[in-house]
């Protein structure tokens, strides 16, 4: 699945829906929406390395680097999107219900209440629906309803939307006075080998620097069959003919069960090493043209925390269809106003 070096919007989708992106991270949600015809205007994130990545790849985006609690939106936006930190909700970690990051969705809602966009999109781990976390989503949905939003939500597996990875995420979409729908997936999966097979021989792909593992690790991993897990490091070799398991941002575990710092993705399906940042990014469906900045650990964190762009594109296409249907009169008026502004004559523009 060699990625094109240039992102192209889907045919038939007109650009123009202005996006305010919160908790933007490495930009996966935003470039996916870009592929669906949306236009990101402003990004908000407190991670310096993620902000470097956003500025490097899209210099025209406005990037607010800092605490979202200090962010005040300026201007008008059609859509507010974002994925508040999910470590407290995640089933992969301790899942502490009292983690202060669990409450950052309230900052997301504060911005929504200020901007009053036509639609919102929120992404989080499926664990947000667990019984111990359910009060958060219920409070969020009730808050949206109080502003006149109609919400739809569900758990989507990225593998059903062209992403070579099983990654289940909670997706909430809501419209101001209307109900968006979620896209329907497909069981025609993309395999890991299809996604990253050509990178085995690549020496010039960006963010593609293989780790040099200790000889005993290389020896042990050389014996692993596809799908087999190394009990010492609790990491498995991915299948070549199936989608990869979820790429995670956090460190793995050592032989004594201690937490390892850094980026520790799964093991390559045929090589005795872990996936590189670029291979992991391909598994997440990022195009090779999207360059990750910072240390390898920072790059891996951005990849592992990201919304897969192709999943975001599918959601965006569905959302754009709903927006166009709901605001078709407004859209025509926009086109007419734009044509009038550009015309030097006084003749009325037609649409």
Specify the length of the chain in residues: 351
Among the listed residues 43, 51, 86, 293, the single catalytic one is 86
Residue 351 has pLDDT above 60, yes or no: no
| Secondary structure letter of residue 197 according to DSSP | G
Tens-digit pLDDT profile for residues 178-203: 999 999 999 999 999 999 999 999 99
pLDDT value for 349: 36
* pLDDT above 70 for 224: yes
Q: Which residues of 58-88 are buried (b: 16+ CB within 10 A; e: fewer)?
A: beebebbbeebeebebeeebbbbbbbbbbbb
In a 13 Å sphere around the CA of 351, the CA atoms on its Cβ side amount to 13
Please give the Cα distance from 169 to 123 (Å, whole number).
7
Does the annotation mark 86 as catalytic? yes
Q: What is the pLDDT of residues 305-330, one digit of tens each?
A: 999 999 999 999 999 999 999 997 45
Q: Evaluate whether the domain defined by 18-185+308-339 bears CATH number 3.40.190.150.
A: no
Residue 217: which residues within 8 A CB-CB, separation 6 or more?
233, 272
Q: Where are the domains of the chain?
A: 18-185+308-339
Say whether pLDDT at 247 is over 50: yes
User: Where are the alpha helices (H) located in the chain, listed in sequence order?
Assistant: 28-35, 48-57, 105-115, 134-146, 192-196, 215-222, 277-283, 296-305, 309-326, 328-342
- What is the mean pLDDT of the segment spanning 1-12? 46
- CA–CA gap between residue 274 and residue 236 (Å, rounded): 9
117 falls in which pLDDT band (50, 70, 90)? very high
Partners of 156 in the β-ladder? 169
pLDDT in tens, 168-181: 999 999 999 999 99
pTM metric for this prediction:
0.86
Joined tokens for residue 137: 């989503």
What pLDDT was estimated at residue 331? 46
Is the pLDDT at 251 greater than 90, yes or no?
no
């Amino acid at each position: 699945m060699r990625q094109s070096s240039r992102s192209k919007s889907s045919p038939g989708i007109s650009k123009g829906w202005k996006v305010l992106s919160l908790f933007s991270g490495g930009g996966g949600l935003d470039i996916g929406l870009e592929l669906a015809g949306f236009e990101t205007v402003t990004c908000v994130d407190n991670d310096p390395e993620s902000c470097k990545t956003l500025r490097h790849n899209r210099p025209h985006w406005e990037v607010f680097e800092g605490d979202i609690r200090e962010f005040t939106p300026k201007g008008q936006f059609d859509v507010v999107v974002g994925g508040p930190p999910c470590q407290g909700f995640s089933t992969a970690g301790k899942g502490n219900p009292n983690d202060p990051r669990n409450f950052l969705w309230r900052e997301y809602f504060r911005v929504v209440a200020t901007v009053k966009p036509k639609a919102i999109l929120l992404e989080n781990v499926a664990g947000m629906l667990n019984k111990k976390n359910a009060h958060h989503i219920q409070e969020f949905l009730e808050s949206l309803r109080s502003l006149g939003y109609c919400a739809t939500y569900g758990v989507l597996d990225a593998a059903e939307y062209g992403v070579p990875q099983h990654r289940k995420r909670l997706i909430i979409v809501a419209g101001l006075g209307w109900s968006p729908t979620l896209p329907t997936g497909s069981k025609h999966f993309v395999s890991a080998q299809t996604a990253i097979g050509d990178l085995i021989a690549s020496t010039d792909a960006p963010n593609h620097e293989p780790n040099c593992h200790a000889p005993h690790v290389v020896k042990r991993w050389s014996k692993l069959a596809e799908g087999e897990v190394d009990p010492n490091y609790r990491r498995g070799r991915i299948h070549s003919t199936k989608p990869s398991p979820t790429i995670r941002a956090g460190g793995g575990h050592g032989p004594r069960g201690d937490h390892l710092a850094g980026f520790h993705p799964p093991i390559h399906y045929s090589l005795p090493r872990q996936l590189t940042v670029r291979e992991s990014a391909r598994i997440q469906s990022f195009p090779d043209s999207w360059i990750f900045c910072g240390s390898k650990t920072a790059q891996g964190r951005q990849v592992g925390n990201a919304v897969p762009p192709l999943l975001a594109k599918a959601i965006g296409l569905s959302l754009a269809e709903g927006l166009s249907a709901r605001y078709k009169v407004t859209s025509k008026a926009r086109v007419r106003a734009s044509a009038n502004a550009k015309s030097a004559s006084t003749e009325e523009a037609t649409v």
